[in-house]
Amino acid sequence: MYRAKVTSKGQITVPKEIRDKLGIRQGDELVFRETAAGYLIEKKVPESPFDKHIGSLSHLKGSDPDTLVKEMRER
SS3 41: strand
Evaluate the CA torsion angle 34, 40, 46, 47 in order and state its sign.
negative
Asked if residue 32 lies in contact with residue 41, where contact means CB atoms within 8 angstroms, the answer is yes
CA distances from 24 to 14, 39, 65, 68, 73 (A): 9, 18, 40, 42, 45
Q: Which domains does the chain have, with CATH numbers?
A: 1-46 (2.10.260.10)
Asked if residue 68 lies in contact with residue 61, where contact means CB atoms within 8 angstroms, the answer is no
Mean pLDDT by 10 residues, the chain (75 residues): 93 93 92 94 86 87 91 89
Residues 54-64: b if buried by 16+ CB within 10 A, e if exposed: eeeeeeeeeee
pLDDT of residue 8: 97
**Full-model pTM:** 0.53
pLDDT of residue 13: 93
